[in-house]
Amino acid sequence: MKLRTSHGQRTLPGEYFESAEIWRLEQERIFRRSWLLAGHVSELTEHGSYFLHEIGNDSVVVLRDGAGKVRAFHNFCRHRGTRLCAESRGRLDNTIRCSYHAWTYGLDGTLRGAPNMQEVAGFDKASWGLKPVVLSEWRGFIFLNLAADPRPFDETLHALAGKFEHWPLSKLTSVHQTVYDVEANWKLIFHNYSECYHCPTAHPHLNKLTPYRNTENDLDEGPVLGGPMAMSNPQGSMTMHGGCCAPPFAGLTAGERSRVYYYTLFPSGFLSLHPDYVLVHRAQPLAVDRTRIVCDWYFHPDAVAAPGFDPQSAIAFWDLTNRQDWALCANAFRGVRSPAWEPGPYSELESQLAAFDRHYLQMLKKT
Ligand code: FES
Ligand SMILES: [Fe+2]
C-alpha cells in the first residue's frame, strides 16, 4: 500500500473561497478548459431528449438529434441571447424555438427560421446556427469542453484509460436522480468527498460498512484521484441494510466485489463504483458560494427489469450521506470566509485534498 502523506500542506487560504477574481479565473482557466462530466447516454433515450449542464454563466444543452447523434450547444439564441431551454431536462420536438422573436433551430443546431430577417441585407441563416460545444463520450458518460479547441479527452483524463473495465459503465441506466443545491464553494465539496477522516463523526452507519482507515488510494496525483475502500462485509454494498440491491456486476473479481471505489474527476464530478451499482455526482458550480450537485444512481438494465428490483436502500443510504456532507460543507464554508480564519494543517488522512489543491493551483496558474 502506498504511504499516505499530505506533505505538510495546509488548506487553501480563505480568498480561494471568497474572491470574485479567483472565481473569474477558475471559470477562465479551469471550467472553460477542462472536460466536464455532464451525463450519460442513457439519459438521452429518444430523438429530442435533452438535459442541461450549467457552470457559472454557461448553460449547455446536450441533446439527441433526429439522426440519433448526441450533440451539445450553448443554450442561448444567436439573435439577442435569450436562454432557449429553461427546464433542466426534457424532450424537444424537432426544433428549438426561441420564446422571444421565434427564431427556430433544428436539433442539429442549424437556424431554420428567423422571421423578418430576410429584409436585412447580407443576413445569411447559415452563419447563425447554435454555437456547438465539443463533447466526448467515455464508456457511456458524456463529457463537455467549453474551449473552442480543447486538449484531447484521452490526454487530459488519461488515468481513466483501461480503468473500471469490469464495470459495464456504458450499459448502465439511472434509476433515480436527486438535485441538491449546496451553499458552499465547489472545492469544499471535492475536499469533503476526498477523505473519510470525517466518517466516524459524520457518518456512523457508513463507517460501520467501511471503517474510515480502509482507504487504499491508487491514484494520488493529477486530475483523477481516489481509490478503493474495503467493506467490512465482502458480500455487502453501501446501502441502508448493508446488502446489495442487485446482483453484483458479472465481470467483477472477488477483490473488486468486496470494495467500493471512489474517484474525483477534476473539476466536475465523482464516480463511486459499488459491486451492484454506480453512483455519480456531477458538480455544477453556479457561483462562488453555490454549487448544484446532480446525483444519479445507475444500475444494470437487466437488474432493473428483474422482478422485485428495489434500489431504495441504496438511494436512501446516499441521500442521507449526501445531506450530512452538504451540511458539513456549508458549515465549513461559513468558517473559512471569516477574515480571521487562517489555513489549517491537513492530516495524513487528507492526502487527496492536498493532491487536489496542488492540481487546482497548477491549473489556476496556467495562462
Ligand atoms: S432573442 Fe431569440 S429570437 Fe430574438
Ligand atoms: Fe462524507
16-42 pLDDT per residue, tens: 999 999 999 999 999 999 999 999 999
Residue type at 361? L
Q: Is the pLDDT of residue 3 over 80?
A: no
Measured by CA distance, the residue closest to atom 1 of ligand 1 is: 80
Quick check: 273 and 229 in contact, CB under 8 A?
Answer: no
Which residues form the pocket of ligand 1, taking CB atoms under 6 Å from any ligand atom?
A: 77, 79-80, 82, 98, 100-103
CA of 288 to the centre of ligand 1 (A): 30
Q: Answer with the one of 127, 162, 197 that is the final residue of a domain.
A: 162
195 alpha carbon, closest ligand = 2
- Assigned domain for 167 exists: no
Same-domain status, 197 and 303: yes
In the chain, what is the greatest distance between 2 CA atoms, to the nearest angstrom?
Answer: 72
Q: Answer with the one of 162, 194, 215 that is the final residue of a domain.
A: 162
Dihedral sign for Cα atoms in the order 141, 146, 149, 152? negative
**Ramachandran area for residue 343 (φ above 0: left; ψ -120 to 50: alpha; else beta):** beta
Same-domain status, 225 and 343: yes
Measured by CA distance, the residue closest to atom 3 of ligand 1 is: 101
Atom of ligand 1 nearest to the CA of 102: 3
Same-domain status, 220 and 317: yes
Same-domain status, 59 and 94: yes
pLDDT at 112: 98
Cα–Cα distance for residue pair 246/237, rounded to 1 Å: 10
- pLDDT band, residue 292 (cuts 50/70/90): very high
Atom of ligand 1 nearest to the CA of 82: 1
Which residue's C-alpha cell is 491514484?
219
pLDDT at 1: 53
pLDDT at 367: 75
pLDDT at 366: 84
Q: Which of 75-89, 123-137, 204-218, 309-323 has the lowest mean pLDDT?
A: 204-218
Cα–Cα distance for residue pair 70/107, rounded to 1 Å: 10
Pocket test for ligand 1, best of 74, 96, 103, 105 (most atoms within 8 A of CB): 103
Residue 354: give the domain boundaries. Answer: 1-18+172-367
- Number of domains the chain is built from: 2
Q: Answer with the one of 101, 132, 162 that is the final residue of a domain.
A: 162
Helix then strand then coil, in percent of the chain rounded to 5, is: 30, 30, 45
Same-domain status, 157 and 201: no
230 CB-contact burial (10 Å; exposed 0-12 / middle 13-18 / buried 19+): middle
Which of 43, 22, 2, 25 is closest to 294 using CA atoms?
43
Same-domain status, 85 and 232: no
- pLDDT band, residue 4 (cuts 50/70/90): confident
Q: How far is the CA of 91 from the CAs of 8, 41, 68, 328, in angstroms?
A: 51, 14, 14, 36
Q: Which three cell numbers stand for residue 318?
A: 446516499
